[in-house]
Structure 1
């Protein structure tokens, strides 16, 4: 294996692993604060939710836009899109990458469901709600799966447009804007607290970073084994 390639793989592995840890720390902190029902976080959540709810009550067009956006970028939409990506990668003989996409999406989704049950946080409640949602609140499934899906598609598609800076920039913008606006829509509709969506975004990207580190580590071991066989 060429030394420069080995060094590049090592750098990417370190970045991915470091990113996973860096994102999991604030997520864990928010989770602890939520479970502990810390007063200042609850007041912050309440103030943001009340302000957005009052805005929504006087702006039905805003509510419709947020509702449509939230539906278009529903977690199941991302899962179906990811399944299509897996099929496309398999047809391109990129099976290991297809496995990474599938495992990442499934692991992130299951982790989100498990944490909802473990934390058991209730959603905001209003006398005059503009939207409704079922299940527990923390972390936000919409925020988690949007961050998860956007990061997965970004990492898969970026190498395909390495010589097209305009498309690369567009991919980066979409990967940031779509999850963030989706997170805002859930709070604006009054079905999540701000800490729910913040934690969901952090966890989604953290899962991608963690599985990427695992994928790169395995890829490095496979390449090293192939190189040893050639030398032998």
Structure 2
């Protein structure tokens, strides 16, 4: 493993460790039943203050839902690119490596979502409709998905659109807007605790660092393989 990959590995490991530490803190510090049906959440004073400051905002909730759908459409687009390459090139080995890495990344992202639906850290600060059950809220899956999908999309854009500066600038701008407005919208909507949003950002950063590590590692391997072949 080269120096660049080692640095990425350290970064990814550090961010995952930070997420674990933060999760433990949420489960142990200032835990009080301030949620619906007396559900408990850590950092209760901070979470209660932020929730009461913004309240519940249906407009921002709907905005963040639509932006989340845009992020999912972006992921679907890359999935279709991979499927097209697989069909036309007739071998998974001939599919672009960044697309394969991105597909694996989406799988990990989905696994994280399922994991935190089963392992509940805390519940939402609101119940949407009468008779509904409490829903898992930590980390904010909307925040996590939007950051992860749009940040990795920007990395892919810089590979596929590097010769089309206008398209690249437009794609980057759209990705940043979707990412930022989704996080802000989710915070202002009031459907998550403040710590849910923070956790979503930290976990997203860790997953993106892992994605970058995988890309660098595959590039280094292909570079070493090319060098070896040239020596034969």
The answer for the alignment partner of 2:47 in structure 1 is: 45
CA RMSD, 1 decimal: 3.2
Could you report, residue by residue, the CA deviation over 1:122-154 in whole angstroms, capped at 9, with x for unpaired residues? 11037x98xx99731111111111111011111
Q: Distance in 1 between matches of 2:84 and 2:137?
A: 34
Call closer, same or farther: CA 1:205–1:166 in 2, change over 3 Å. farther
Q: How many residues align?
A: 214
- 5 Å-filtered alignment, 1:77-96, equals 77-87=73-83, 90=86, 94-96=95-97
Residues in 1 aligned to 2:84 and 2:22: alpha-carbon distance in whole angstroms: 37
Corresponding residue for 2:16? 24
CA distance in 1, matches of 2:18, 2:82: 31
CA distance in structure 2 between the partners assigned to 1:80 and 1:139 by the alignment:
23
Cα distance in 1 between the residues matched to 2:112 and 2:20:
13
Describe the shift of the 1:42–1:162 C-alpha distance in structure 2 as closer, same or farther (beyond 3 A): same
Q: Which residue of 2 aligns with 1:157?
A: 157
- Output one character per residue of 1:29-71: Cα deviation in whole Å (capped at 9) or x when no partner: 32111222435722111111111116x3xxxxxx335413323
How far 1:156 moved relative to its partner?
Answer: 0.6
1:100 Cα offset (Å): 0.7
Provide the C-alpha distance between the structure 1 equivalents of 2:133 and 2:175, rounded to a whole number of angstroms: 25
Determine whether 1:180 maps to 2:175. no
| Bigger proportion of residues as helix | 1
Aligned residue for 1:4? none
1:73 aligned counterpart, secondary structure: helix
Cα offset, 1:83, TM superposition: 1.7
2:115 alignment partner in structure 1? 114
Which residue of the partner structure matches residue 71 of structure 1? 66
Q: Work out the CA distance in 1 between the residues paired with 2:165 and 2:97.
A: 27
Unaligned runs of 5+ in 2: 32-41
- Per mean C-alpha deviation after superposition, the further-off stretch among 102-111 and 76-85 is 76-85
- What CA distance in whole angstroms lies between the structure 2 residues aligned with 1:32 and 1:207? 19
CA offset at residue 196 of structure 1? Answer: 0.9
Distance 1:32 1:13 in 2: 29
